[in-house]
Structure 1
Amino acid sequence: MRTLHSALIVIAVAVASVGPVLAHSLEEVDQDLRAKETYFQPVDSEAPAFTLQDAAGRTVSLSDLRGKVVVLNFVYTNCPDVCPLHAERIAELQTMINQTPMKAVVEFVTITTDPKRDKGTVLSEYGQAHGLDPVNWMFLTAAPGQPEDSTRKIAEVYGLKFTESEEGMQMHGVVTHVIDQDGRMRARFHGLKFEPVSLVVFVNALTNRTQKPHGHPEPGFWDSLKGLIR
């Protein structure tokens, strides 16, 4: 597993380091992922706005992140099973992307659906526990005065329902959302079985949209890369 993880990091570095030389269009990447990535859902709609608070008490709005690609997910820290796995998948993606120049133009955002419990040091300690780097990752919660269900309502407008049980747990699905530099939803990656390189390649296509390709890659390189997206 470690060898595979290392290989994926090398691939991510290779994809992004060559920049526009290997910049296949978003349409080409979208088509490839539709064919090979079972858990990929292309989207093209305005991302729902939000204004929340980070672990340090700073106000953060989605509009503040214009100009960056945003990788967004929802969890809550008291979740005993799938949320830690989702956090670790986000950390894996962040490690891959942060080995490349994309680090400067990609922001990872996690929103808690349990703002009553999840605030301040609880948020920052959760990130540390799961290997998330605050250099381009933030964990957001409800701001003072916002209702306790406000972040669950945000998740719902993103298409993800968190339903509270009598035991205080929340029943929910797992989705990783990708928002482009203009604040538009461009993709959902469902569950935890998608290939990490699929999301990295998609994000790379978004970051290269405004750059004009200056050449074409060697034929075998792109084909071998796509071969990893099953």
Structure 2
Amino acid sequence: MLLLAVLMWHFRPVRSAAPALQQAILLSAPLSLGAFRLQDQYGQRVQATDLQGRWHLLSYGYTYCPDVCPLTLAKLAYLQQQLAQYTEYPQLDLLFYSIDPGRDSTTELARYLQHFAADIRGLRPDPQAATLALPFEQALSLRFSIEDEQSGTADYAVAHGISLYLLNPEARLQAVFFPANRPGMAVPEFDVDILQADYLAIRRYLATQAD
């Protein structure tokens, strides 16, 4: 019996090592986003249960953003097209969270996002329950600041980070992607090829852990 136990331990299944990622961090345990409630660009309420069952990649910003947001969304739309060829994985859905609900109405979000991909889902704090967006923002550690939106003018400054957040089919945070900051770049940017490689590496690794 002792010999059998030793042999069984020696030939036990070995889980593969965590993937080598270029611009992403894979969480050792998926993180809950809390009991949040948001609103999409069609005025529908969005909770964690509404994001379950699919993989999502979320970016955040605001529709008045002059450079980072439109560039990132264009690259994510292209990434989504590129991933369509990998039939072993369900299609990746895209989310965009507005940190500027004062200007980004549902109508404005819908108008803005249609320029990038027809199926990007826009999210914003629900005006009827704005505090219920806080668990979502805090769980993701969204970094942003808004100048003075109460000044009476629509021309106020907004600053924000550029991370991307991968949500698994349980609507939990699975990984975070960071842009490249190379010499000569005005702002950090994402490389679609690297995003694709890291995303596929994560999906393949997690598939081995589920076996």
TM-score by length of 1: 0.66
Matched, 1:187 2:172: no
The aligned counterpart of 1:164 is 146
- Aligned partners of 1:67 and 1:181 also within 8 Å: yes
Structure 2: 5+ residue runs without aligned partners? 1-13, 149-154, 180-188
2:164 aligns with one of 165, 176, 191: 176
The aligned counterpart of 1:139 is 122
Distance 1:197 1:60 in 2: 27
Distance 1:103 1:127 in 2: 25
The aligned counterpart of 1:42 is 26
One-letter code aligned to 1:42: L
Q: Give the greater-gyration-radius structure (CA).
A: 2
- Aligned partners of 1:115 and 1:151 also within 8 Å: no
- Aligned partners of 1:40 and 1:188 also within 8 Å: yes
- Aligned partners of 1:155 and 1:162 also within 8 Å: no
The aligned counterpart of 1:32 is 20
Distance 1:140 1:209, change over 3 A: farther
Structure 1: 5+ residue runs without aligned partners? 1-24, 213-230
The aligned counterpart of 1:121 is 107
Residues 124-180 of structure 1: per-residue CA shift (max 9 Å, x gap)? 221122x2231xx20011223133x86577334312211112562211210111121
Distance 1:143 1:184, change over 3 A: closer
Distance 1:88 1:63 in 2: 27
Distance 2:113 2:201 in 1: 24
- Aligned partners of 2:94 and 2:121 also within 8 Å: yes
One-letter code aligned to 2:200: V
Q: What SS does the corresponding residue of 2:125 show, helix, strand or coil? A: coil
Q: What SS does the corresponding residue of 1:83 show, helix, strand or coil? A: helix
Distance 1:68 1:202 in 2: 17
Residues 30-54 of structure 1: per-residue CA shift (max 9 Å, x gap)? 4222xxx0x2112123231332111
- Aligned partners of 1:102 and 1:207 also within 8 Å: no
Number of matched pairs: 179
Distance 1:26 1:80 in 2: 45
Distance 1:153 1:206 in 2: 29
Residues 199-230 of structure 1: per-residue CA shift (max 9 Å, x gap)? 44145427846876xxxxxxxxxxxxxxxxxx
Matched, 1:201 2:184: no
The aligned counterpart of 1:91 is 77
1:52 aligns with one of 10, 17, 38: 38
Distance 1:90 1:106, change over 3 A: same
The aligned counterpart of 2:52 is 66
Q: What SS does the corresponding residue of 2:111 show, helix, strand or coil? A: helix
Distance 1:103 1:31, change over 3 A: closer
